[in-house]
Structure formats: C-alpha cells, structure tokens
Amino acid sequence: MTLHEELDRLLSTLNVGDEKYAVKAVDILLDLAQRRLASDLHLLPDESRTHLVPYFRIDGVLEPVGRIAGGVNIVSRLKVLASLLTYRTDIPQEGRVKAESTESEVRISTFPTPHGEKAVVRFFVGSGDYRLLADLGYPEDIEQRLQEILQQTSGLLLTCGPSGAGKTTMLYAAIRHLQQPSSILRSICTLEDPVEAIIPGVSQSLVKPETEFNYERGLVSLMRQDPDVIMVGEIRNRETAEIVFQASLTGHLVLSTFHAGTAADAVGRLADMGIEPYLMRSGLTAILAQRLLRKLCSCHLSKESDCEKCRGRKYLGRVVAAELLETEATEVGKAILDRRDVQTVYELAKKSGMVPMLERARRMTVEGVTTLEECDRVFGPYFRKNMSSKLSET
Ligand SMILES: [Zn+2]
C-alpha cells in the first residue's frame, strides 16, 4: 500500500462535518508521518481553499500523499497545538509541541500564501532514536579518527553539510560515545536551538538567538560552569565562532556544526567570517563534511513494484558519504595559516590522505550501494563536474 492509499484509508473513517474532524485528522497525519519516519510534513493550501495537499519528506525526498479536506481547520488545529496565534494568518509563525510519547519536540511553522496558510511540521530524532557513533555507518578510517579526536581534551571538531545531512545526529552520537561507561567521566554541556533530544547526564540548554540567552552569551557563561566538553548547536556568525575557538584553545573539547558544502569550503567560510588564520590553525582539530545518500533496496533488480520494504521506492534507508579534513597535517595547517584559497586547501588535504566525499560516493555507486542518480540529487551538478573523468573509467 502506498502512503497515499494508507492516508486515504485512515481519513475515510472520519466525517468532515464532525466538530472533532480537524483534531482527529491532525492526529492521523502526525501519527502516520512519525510511523513512516518522515522528517517533515508539509501541508500546502490548494486553490480550492477547502483542501490541503500533504507531503512527507522521507530519507530526504518529498513525497506527495494526496489531498485532505478541512484546510483552514487543520492548520488552525496545528497552531493551537503549538500555541500560535490562530487569528493571525497574515504573518509567518513558529512554535513547538512536546510529543507525549517521547522526550522529543515537534516544530510547527506557518507561512502565508495567496491561497491561505502553509504549514510545515518538523519531527526531531527523539531520544530513543539517536544512535552511537558506530551505528552511523562512517567508513572505518573516519570512525577510527573521530573516536581518537573525541578522546582529546581540547580542540574543535566541526561537522558540515547542508540541512538534513545528519550533522546533529552526528553530534548526538559523538556525545553518546563520550558517555560510554568505558570513557573517562567528563562534564558535558550543550547549547542548542532547538534541543532535539534529551541526553541523560548531559546539561543541555536551549538558547534563543533573539534574546539575551543567545549562543555568544550562553558560551561565555558556560565557560564558568567548568565544562570539559561543549557542544554548540551551530556556528552562525563571527561572534559565536570566535568564542568557540577561544573555548577550544583553553582546554575544552568543542563540537559544533557549520553550514558549508565541503570541509575545505568550511575553512574558506570561516576565513571570510573574519576568523584569524592562527586561531583556525591552532583551535581547529578537524572538519567532517557529509551528505546522506539513499541506499538501494534489495528489490531494485526485480521488476516488481510492490516491494513491502521500500513500498516501491527502490531505495531503503540512507548511508553517509563523508570526508574528514584534519588541520594537524602540516601542509594543510600551513595553507590555512598562509590564507591559501579553498582549492589549495582541498588539494593539500587530499595529498595528506583525505578521501573526498565525492570519491566515497562514487565508490558506493560502483559497489551498488547507491546510484549515480542519487548522487546527482544530493550533490547537484557538482558531482558530475568533479567526477567526470573517474566516471568514464568505470
Ligand atoms: Zn524494495
């Protein structure tokens, strides 16, 4: 049964005239999205204004799931759940709902469009679902190095990639790794926006960028709390980056995420942000860049389209394509210090042993783990542009 058919079947038990219709329909939508492991649920108003067009994002890909009656009432119900202003439909709004069953949160955001409000529900990993470093499927060499880096008592480990590339999942897994019984007990503190999952034994704080308790002020205060390991949800500006580097140079292991396409790009972007090369050279331990690629389902060679596992999508689950740029490599460190361009940093990192994530992805297409089409979807034209010579070899 496709998702569309399943949703239709569930909704067919409801009566649109029922005063509880919107409440029940929203319950059905949220429950189905979570059971099908969707990361996001989109609800778009259509021209009729009486219906919404729902989409689920599963394994990074949007999937339409039909049409649902009761447009405005359904969006209103979501707004009630997230304590948003139901009478305001002309401004974007954002709120959170704490899921009852798990410790995790659901974020609901609305946006005005010509046909009415659009709503997007983002589901977070949930405390039961986040995994250990060893469960994330990094190549052995990268996993080994990550474990070694996590044993260090200072330095910064940055995880890069676009939204949905598994950066936060990696940070949570790293923290979980640090908490294993065999590890030395360390004081672990986080600053996050939002707190996606509760990790027992870790002091997690929710920062709000627009308030006094933002990343910068939070970090300054946190330093007085005697932390060994600090996780900063995201570096968004120079102020945060500078304090993060100071922390990493003063005996704290710092873990954070950063929006950059590749590991070498991250070096360039930090420099553009105004971070001094000497800070980067001494504070930065490594940059992990990654993407998630859908894995081929075992049914992909058969002609049948009704595979129960992948529901005819031919893909099932995802695999990580990653690259780890280490600044300890003398030449890479020197290039950073000399403010060399991104391409030079990239070439030197390769020379010192970094296997680029594009190359890792290409190898996975050869091994039949994923496809070239999936690489195109995830990396865009960048993939074929950089891999063209190697692709023609195989
Ligand atoms: Zn299948």
How would DSSP label each residue in 310-329? TTTSSEEEEEEEEEEEETTS
Expressed in angstroms and rounded, the spacing between residue 315 Cα and the centre of ligand 1 is 6
Expressed in angstroms and rounded, the spacing between residue 369 Cα and the centre of ligand 1 is 13
Is residue 35 helix, strand or coil?
A: helix
Expressed in angstroms and rounded, the spacing between residue 360 Cα and the centre of ligand 1 is 24
The pTM assigned to this predicted structure is 0.88
Provide the Cα torsion 275, 279, 282, 283; round to 10°.
-70
Q: Does residue 240 share a domain with residue 97?
A: no
Q: Does residue 141 share a domain with residue 113?
A: no
DSSP, residue by residue, 316-365: EEEEEEEEEEETTSHHHHHHHHTT--HHHHHHHHHHTTPPPHHHHHHHHH
Expressed in angstroms and rounded, the spacing between residue 294 Cα and the centre of ligand 1 is 12
Helix (H) or strand (E) holding 153: none
pLDDT of amino acid 312: 83
Q: Does residue 387 share a domain with residue 252?
A: yes
* Strand spans (E) along 91-222: 93-98, 105-113, 116-123, 155-160, 188-192, 203-206
Could you state, in chain order, the average pLDDT of each consecutive group of 10 residues for the chain (394 residues)? 90 91 94 90 91 94 92 92 94 84 76 94 68 89 96 96 92 92 90 85 88 91 94 94 95 96 96 94 96 94 81 90 90 94 95 95 96 95 86 68
Expressed in angstroms and rounded, the spacing between residue 7 Cα and the centre of ligand 1 is 20
Backbone angles phi and psi of 388, in degrees to 5: -55, -45
Q: What is the pLDDT of residues 32-89, one digit of tens each?
A: 998 888 989 999 998 888 899 999 999 999 999 999 998 889 999 999 999 999 999 9
Nearest-angstrom CA–CA distance, 366 and 264: 25
Q: Where are the alpha helices (DSSP H) in the chain?
A: 3-11, 21-35, 71-81, 140-151, 167-178, 215-222, 238-249, 263-272, 277-283, 330-337, 342-351, 357-366, 372-379, 381-393
Q: Does residue 165 share a domain with residue 105?
A: no
> What CATH number did the domain enclosing 62 receive?
3.30.450.90
Nearest-angstrom CA–CA distance, 232 and 242: 12
Expressed in angstroms and rounded, the spacing between residue 304 Cα and the centre of ligand 1 is 9
Expressed in angstroms and rounded, the spacing between residue 176 Cα and the centre of ligand 1 is 32
Is 128 inside any structural domain? no
Expressed in angstroms and rounded, the spacing between residue 383 Cα and the centre of ligand 1 is 26
**Is the CA virtual torsion 62, 32, 233, 137 positive or negative?**
negative
Expressed in angstroms and rounded, the spacing between residue 370 Cα and the centre of ligand 1 is 13
Which of 123, 151, 168 terminates a domain? The answer is 123
One-letter amino acid identity for 34?
Q
Structural domain range at position 310: 133-393
> What CATH number did the domain enclosing 297 receive?
3.40.50.300
Q: Does residue 364 share a domain with residue 215?
A: yes
Q: Does residue 355 share a domain with residue 314?
A: yes
Alpha carbons within 13 angstroms on the beta-carbon side of residue 376 total: 6
Expressed in angstroms and rounded, the spacing between residue 58 Cα and the centre of ligand 1 is 15
Phi-psi region of 84 (alpha: psi -120 to 50; beta: other; left: phi over 0): beta
pLDDT of amino acid 96: 85
pLDDT of amino acid 129: 56
**Three-point CA angle 153, 154, 157, nearest 5°:** 115
One-letter amino acid identity for 390?
K
Q: What is the pLDDT of residues 152-210, one digit of tens each?
A: 999 999 999 998 899 999 999 999 999 988 888 999 999 998 888 888 889 999 898 88
Which of 79, 94, 123 terminates a domain? The answer is 123
pLDDT of amino acid 134: 87
Which of 123, 151, 167 terminates a domain? The answer is 123
Expressed in angstroms and rounded, the spacing between residue 63 Cα and the centre of ligand 1 is 16
